[in-house]
Amino acid sequence: MDSQTEKIPFIRFLYADAEGVRRIYDADWPDQFIAYFSDKEVTKIGGFFMMGMPLQVKTLDDAFKICKG
């Protein structure tokens, strides 16, 4: 396998966007995640993973708090 297929993203976020379309967002750094979602509308959260571990979040604010430490 090449290094791209072996890499686990630092953050993986499963969500539905403003139109209800399911999406997956991967980020290498918490700051990237915060910057990307600061002005986005999320209608549903399917999962939030940090370093491959599932974390319980109900809102984007919950995810932001985890990212900020």
How sure is the predictor about 7, in pLDDT bands with cuts at 50, 70 and 90?
confident
pLDDT > 70: what percent of the chain? 91
As beta bridge partners, residue 47 has 14
**CB atoms closer than 10 angstroms to residue 8:** 9
The backbone region for 29, taken as left when phi is positive above 0, alpha when psi lies in -120 to 50, beta otherwise, is beta
CA angle 45, 50, 56 (to 5 degrees): 45
Q: What is the pLDDT of residues 30-47, one digit of tens each?
A: 999 999 999 999 999 999
Specify the pLDDT at position 66.
96
Joined tokens for residue 59: 């809102």
Average pLDDT of span 38-62: 96
Confidence category of residue 5, pLDDT binned at 50, 70, 90: low
Give the CA radius of gyration of the chain. Answer: 12
Give dist(CA 51, CA 38) in Å, integer.
21
